[in-house]
Amino acid sequence: MTLQPRPGLMDIKPYTPGAAAPDGAVKLSSNENALGCSPKAAEAFKSSAEHLHVYPDGGASALRDAIAKAEGIEAERIVCGAGSDELLQLIGRAYLDPGDTVVQTQYGFLVYRLVAMQSGAHIVSAPESNYTADIDSLLETAKEGAKIVFIANPNNPTGTWVPDSEIRRLREGLPEDTLLVVDGAYAEFVKEPGYGNPLKLVDDYENTMVTRTFSKIHGLAGLRLGWMYGPKDIVDVIHRVRGPFNVNLPAIEAGLAAIQDAAFVEDSVNHNERWVGQMTQSIRALGYEVTPSVCNFVLVHFPETLGKDAMAANAFLAERGLIVRPVQPYGLPNALRISIGKDDDNRRVIEALEAFAKA
Ligand SMILES: Cc1ncc(COP(=O)(O)O)c(C=O)c1O
Considering the chain, what percentage of its residues have pLDDT values greater than 70? 100
Is 166 part of a structural domain of the chain? Answer: yes
- Per-residue pLDDT at 2: 87
Is 322 part of a structural domain of the chain? Answer: yes
pLDDT in tens, 249-294: 999 999 999 999 999 999 999 999 999 999 999 999 999 999 999 9
- Per-residue pLDDT at 32: 97
Determine the distance separating the centroid of ligand 1 and the alpha carbon of 211, expressed in angstroms.
9
Q: Which residue has better confidence, 25 or 218? A: 218
Testing ligand 1's pocket by substitution, the residue of 215, 220, 294, 296 carrying the most ligand atoms inside 8 A of its CB is 215
Q: Does ligand 1 come within 6 angstroms of the Cβ of 219? A: no
Using an 8 Å Cβ cutoff, are 188 and 273 in contact? Answer: no
Our separate counts of H helices and E strands in the chain read 12, 13
- Per-residue pLDDT at 191: 94
Is 231 part of a structural domain of the chain? Answer: yes
- Per-residue pLDDT at 260: 96
CA pair distance 140, 340, nearest whole angstrom = 35
Q: Does ligand 1 come within 6 angstroms of the Cβ of 183? A: yes
- Per-residue pLDDT at 75: 98
Q: With bands split at pLDDT 50, 70 and 90, how would you rate the model's confidence at 17?
A: confident
Per-residue pLDDT at 48 exceeds 90: yes
Q: Does ligand 1 come within 6 angstroms of the Cβ of 185? A: yes
Residue 246 maps to which CATH number? 3.40.640.10
In whole angstroms, how far apart are CA 119 and each of 27, 40, 329? 33, 39, 21
Atom of ligand 1 at shortest range from CA of 85? 9
Question: Are residues 213 and 269 both part of a single domain?
Answer: no
pLDDT in tens, 131-143: 999 999 999 999 9
Atom of ligand 1 at shortest range from CA of 214? 11
- Per-residue pLDDT at 24: 81
- Per-residue pLDDT at 202: 97
Question: Are residues 313 and 350 both part of a single domain?
Answer: yes
Residue 322 maps to which CATH number? 3.90.1150.10
| Domain end among 240, 260, 280 | 260
Determine the distance separating the centroid of ligand 1 and the alpha carbon of 84, expressed in angstroms.
6
Is 217 part of a structural domain of the chain? Answer: yes
pLDDT in tens, 178-228: 999 999 999 999 999 999 999 999 999 999 999 999 999 999 999 999 999
Is 15 part of a structural domain of the chain? Answer: no
Question: Are residues 44 and 183 both part of a single domain?
Answer: yes
Q: What is the mean pLDDT of residues 284-307?
A: 97
Q: Which residue has better confidence, 62 or 17? A: 62
Per-residue pLDDT at 162 exceeds 90: yes
* Residues in a beta bridge with 104: 125
Q: What is the mean pLDDT of residues 8-23?
A: 83
| Domain end among 229, 260, 291 | 260
**Mean pLDDT, the chain, as a whole number?**
96
Is 1 part of a structural domain of the chain? Answer: no
Q: Give how far the C-alpha of residue 151 lies from the chain's centroid of Cα atoms, to the nearest Å.
A: 10
Question: Are residues 287 and 155 both part of a single domain?
Answer: no
Domain housing 294: 22-36+263-358
Q: What is the mean pLDDT of residues 233-253?
A: 98
Beta-carbon contacts of 242 under 8 Å, excluding residues fewer than 6 positions away, are 79, 81, 86, 90
Question: Are residues 184 and 307 both part of a single domain?
Answer: no
Is 145 part of a structural domain of the chain? Answer: yes
Per-residue pLDDT at 15 exceeds 90: no
Is 117 part of a structural domain of the chain? Answer: yes
Question: Are residues 162 and 212 both part of a single domain?
Answer: yes
CA pair distance 172, 204, nearest whole angstrom = 11
pLDDT in tens, 87-117: 999 999 999 999 999 999 999 999 999 999 9
Question: Are residues 256 and 311 both part of a single domain?
Answer: no
- CB count within 10 Å of CB 228 equals 26
Count of domains for the chain: 2
Question: Are residues 162 and 139 both part of a single domain?
Answer: yes
* pTM of the predicted protein model: 0.96
Q: Does ligand 1 come within 6 angstroms of the Cβ of 33? A: no
Testing ligand 1's pocket by substitution, the residue of 85, 105, 327 carrying the most ligand atoms inside 8 A of its CB is 85
Using an 8 Å Cβ cutoff, are 149 and 97 in contact? Answer: no
Per-residue pLDDT at 334 exceeds 90: yes
Question: Are residues 249 and 281 both part of a single domain?
Answer: no
* Residues in a beta bridge with 312: none
- Per-residue pLDDT at 42: 98
Atom of ligand 1 at shortest range from CA of 84? 11
Please name the residue whose Cα sits nearest to atom 1 of ligand 1.
Answer: 156
Report the relative pairing of strands 26-27 and 325-327 from DSSP bridges.
Answer: unpaired
Atom of ligand 1 at shortest range from CA of 86? 9
- Per-residue pLDDT at 14: 83
Q: Does ligand 1 come within 6 angstroms of the Cβ of 85? A: yes
| Domain end among 242, 260, 278 | 260
Per-residue pLDDT at 6 exceeds 90: no
75: amino acid identity, one letter: A
Q: Does ligand 1 come within 6 angstroms of the Cβ of 345? A: no
Radius of gyration of the chain (CA): 20
3-state secondary structure 281-333: HHHHHCCCEEECCCCCEEEEECCCCCCCCHHHHHHHHHHCCEECEEEHHHCEE
Question: Are residues 207 and 279 both part of a single domain?
Answer: no
DSSP class per residue in 28-69 = -SS---TT-S-HHHHHHHHHGGGGTTSPP-TT-HHHHHHHHH
Q: Does ligand 1 come within 6 angstroms of the Cβ of 110? A: no
Question: Are residues 175 and 285 both part of a single domain?
Answer: no
Question: Are residues 123 and 202 both part of a single domain?
Answer: yes
Q: Does ligand 1 come within 6 angstroms of the Cβ of 29? A: no
Per-residue pLDDT at 23 exceeds 90: no
Q: Does ligand 1 come within 6 angstroms of the Cβ of 152? A: yes
